[in-house]
Chain A
Amino acid sequence: MKRKIVSIVLVLAAVMMMLSLSSCGKEYDGEINVYNFGEYIDEQTYKDFEEEYNIKVNYTTYETCESLYSVLKLGGADYDVLITSDYMIGRMANEGMLMELDWDNIPNYELIDDKYKKLEYDPEELYSVPYMWGTVGLIYNREEIDEEITSWGALFDEKYSGNILMFDSPRDAFGVALSYLGYSLNTTDEAEIEEAYELLVQQKPLVQGYFQDQMYDKLESGEALLGAYYAGDYICMLENNPSLKFVVPDEGSNWYVDAFCIPNSCENKEAAELFINYMCQTDVTLANMESTGYASPNTEACDIYAEDLDESLAEIMFPSEEVLSRCEVFLNLPQNILDLYDSYMVKLKA
């Protein structure tokens, strides 16, 4: 018995020695914790940042804006840089959860097109630096589905029962239902939201489940045939399954800007701003566009990227004014409506 223990302890000690030698060989000048959506960065870019500035980046990911909000609210976790969606930045700014940025430290902000500045979620340009933008649409498997889909209706069609994927994030899921019903995505009319909820309840038996990042795998492998998801991610899926199609349905949809911001818990604001500035560099932006399939608000980067881009892909990455005019941005909603969303979402899944 004793020998058993000794041998186990020795093996463990050896493994830990090896690991510590391989991982902790370096002294950093600083450390920042970055929190982002899953599958939303070229991981090499933050490693290059680590190299260049000798600042360690602890990079972790989350699934939905709402879970990001919970994590910050609950406390105890100290993030320095967040990447999240427009409406959530609006909400956090309203609730005083964000720090004002020091623009002197982010000169690359100039590279960003004015179209994406001073939007409703940050009208005074205090808190956020746009990272990527895109639209929500319907992705379907053209090989298995023998028709051109142009309406959200397909997601509620019994014909596709068992093959449908739906958003797990509440605003996105309700957004689909509200668009289909022809209501505003930012409606504060409780009756309209209830109608959308009823629609989602009816849809529940038809869907495989409520997912976020797992969608990739399910749509690529043909495990599911259609689902609502983001344009950029569609472009990534296409590499693994060329028979997928993307459409922004006729009823309209959501277009969004995801942006960097710095929460109050940040302890190293200068390093955080350095990171944001680095990520706005055109070469870094290009790497991230390449890896995520999203369009950047950096015009220079977009022009370079569009040069040798397939036209059909360009239409999806940089949708035309006609498409965008059908789309609406999510705004932050009053607290009673947010509570309503929360309780409907739990009830829907319960």
Chain B
Amino acid sequence: MKTKLSVLGRVYTFLIYFFLYLPIFVLIVFSFNSSNSRTIWSGFSLEWYGELFRDSVIMSSVYTTLLVSFISALIATVFGTAAAIGFFNMRGKMRTHLLNVNNIPLMNADIVTGVSLRLLFVAAFFALGRAFGAINGFLGTHLPVSFDLGFGTLLIAHITFNVPYVILSVMPKLHQSDRNLMDAALDLGCTPISAIWKVVLPEIMPGIVNGALIAFTMSIDDFVISYFTAGSKTQTLAMAIYSMTKKRVTPKINAISTILFTTVLVLLIIVNIRSLRQSKNNDAKQKKGILK
């Protein structure tokens, strides 16, 4: 009974993986096609890769994407960790309410987040422009009176949707941590900041790292929110891809998919080989311990 089930399970798993990877496989194969057809194979070539690297719009969009993901993940991690520690030390009701607000960007559809931030930015630009204009007229200063969407607004939007993920992954670690340790540190004369730095942070580190990685991933994958908040000259890779899919098709898209895919694959393999080795070592150690 059990083996039959597991054979079935294997077949099933294989089919699902086939479903997941078939389109990606097709994309990759046709990135090496010598004509620009997406479905008819006409010979091997690396032409599209050359075209891709010469395409300054795409290259600068890759740069923007990495930059905004990196900075927003970094800021969101610091912000989110601090906020999680703060929330954790709040009293019941206050904490529940704030956590509910914190959950809004998670529960909300991306398009609503994107649209609402766009409206906020536009309204804020208008108000700021008016205010600065008045100040300029009054004091003769030269504050800017017109603002535009761009990297700044994109970054704010990304931080906004990233922080909740960090909080969500740090919170459980705080719950698991031992409260007495912090109290002990305080009793022994630590200031609260150094107590947090030396006692709490090391304990919740895995949660922080996990949160940072989720934030980074979410930023890289985001399209909808960026689309509404990036403005006229800043473009993330996802936005560049979107405008490419709507235009005349070029296998540059396939080439970029292939590069993304292999980069991530190689990164994951490196990371996993390391951790596999570690776990193997641990296994070995444990076995030795048992033998003793």
Interface residues of A (CB under 8 A from B): 1-5, 7-8, 11-12, 15-16, 19-20, 22-23, 31, 33, 35, 38-39, 47, 58-61, 63, 74-79, 212-214, 216-217, 221, 240, 265, 267
Asked whether B60 lies within 8 Å of A213 as measured between CB atoms, the reply is no
Contacting residues, chain A, for B249 (C-beta < 8 A): 214, 216-217
Asked whether A5 lies within 8 Å of B209 as measured between CB atoms, the reply is yes
Asked whether A213 lies within 8 Å of B63 as measured between CB atoms, the reply is no
Asked whether B271 lies within 8 Å of A7 as measured between CB atoms, the reply is yes
Asked whether A216 lies within 8 Å of B232 as measured between CB atoms, the reply is no
Across the interface, name the chain B residue whose C-beta is closest to A4: B271
Number of interface residues of B (CB under 8 A): 42
Q: A3-B274, A217-B249 are in contact. Are A78 and B59 (CB under 8 A)?
A: no
**Top 8 closest A-B pairs, CB basis?**
A58-B233, A216-B248, A77-B232, A19-B63, A78-B148, A76-B149, A217-B249, A75-B122
Asked whether B206 lies within 8 Å of A15 as measured between CB atoms, the reply is no
> B4 near A: Cβ within 8 Å?
no
- Name the distance in Å between A49's Cβ and chain B's nearest Cβ: 14
Contact of B122 among A2, A35, A38, A76 (CB under 8 A): A76
Asked whether A74 lies within 8 Å of B247 as measured between CB atoms, the reply is no
Contact of B67 among A11, A16, A58 (CB under 8 A): A16
> B193 near A: Cβ within 8 Å?
no
- Name the distance in Å between B61's Cβ and chain A's nearest Cβ: 10
Asked whether B206 lies within 8 Å of A1 as measured between CB atoms, the reply is yes
- Name the distance in Å between B47's Cβ and chain A's nearest Cβ: 16
Contact with A along B220-254 (1 / 0, CB 8 A): 00000000000111010000000100111100000
> B121 near A: Cβ within 8 Å?
yes
- Name the distance in Å between B282's Cβ and chain A's nearest Cβ: 13
Contact of B275 among A4, A31, A33, A59 (CB under 8 A): A4
> B42 near A: Cβ within 8 Å?
no
Contact of B149 among A4, A22, A77 (CB under 8 A): A77
Asked whether B148 lies within 8 Å of A22 as measured between CB atoms, the reply is no
Across the interface, name the chain A residue whose C-beta is closest to B70: A12
Contacting residues, chain B, for A5 (C-beta < 8 A): 209, 212-213
Give Cα A61 to B235, complex, Å. Answer: 12
Give Cα A240 to B205, complex, Å. Answer: 57
| New A-B pairs, 19, CB < 8 Å, besides A59-B57, A75-B125, A217-B248 | A4-B209, A4-B274, A5-B212, A8-B271, A19-B63, A20-B63, A23-B56, A35-B232, A38-B243, A38-B247, A58-B232, A60-B233, A60-B235, A77-B231, A77-B232, A78-B231, A213-B248, A214-B248, A216-B248
Asked whether A76 lies within 8 Å of B231 as measured between CB atoms, the reply is yes
Give Cα A212 to B62, complex, Å. Answer: 26
Give Cα A98 to B149, complex, Å. Answer: 20
Q: A5-B209, A16-B70 are in contact. Are A39 and B247 (CB under 8 A)?
A: yes
Asked whether B146 lies within 8 Å of A267 as measured between CB atoms, the reply is yes
Contacting residues, chain A, for B248 (C-beta < 8 A): 38-39, 213-214, 216-217
- Name the distance in Å between B195's Cβ and chain A's nearest Cβ: 22
Contacting residues, chain B, for A59 (C-beta < 8 A): 57
> B8 near A: Cβ within 8 Å?
no
Which positions 113-132 of chain B face chain A at CB distance < 8 Å?
118, 121-122, 125-126
Asked whether A76 lies within 8 Å of B148 as measured between CB atoms, the reply is yes
Asked whether A61 lies within 8 Å of B67 as measured between CB atoms, the reply is no
- Name the distance in Å between B197's Cβ and chain A's nearest Cβ: 17
> B66 near A: Cβ within 8 Å?
yes
Contact with A along B190-208 (1 / 0, CB 8 A): 0000000000000001100
- Name the distance in Å between A154's Cβ and chain B's nearest Cβ: 24
> B270 near A: Cβ within 8 Å?
yes
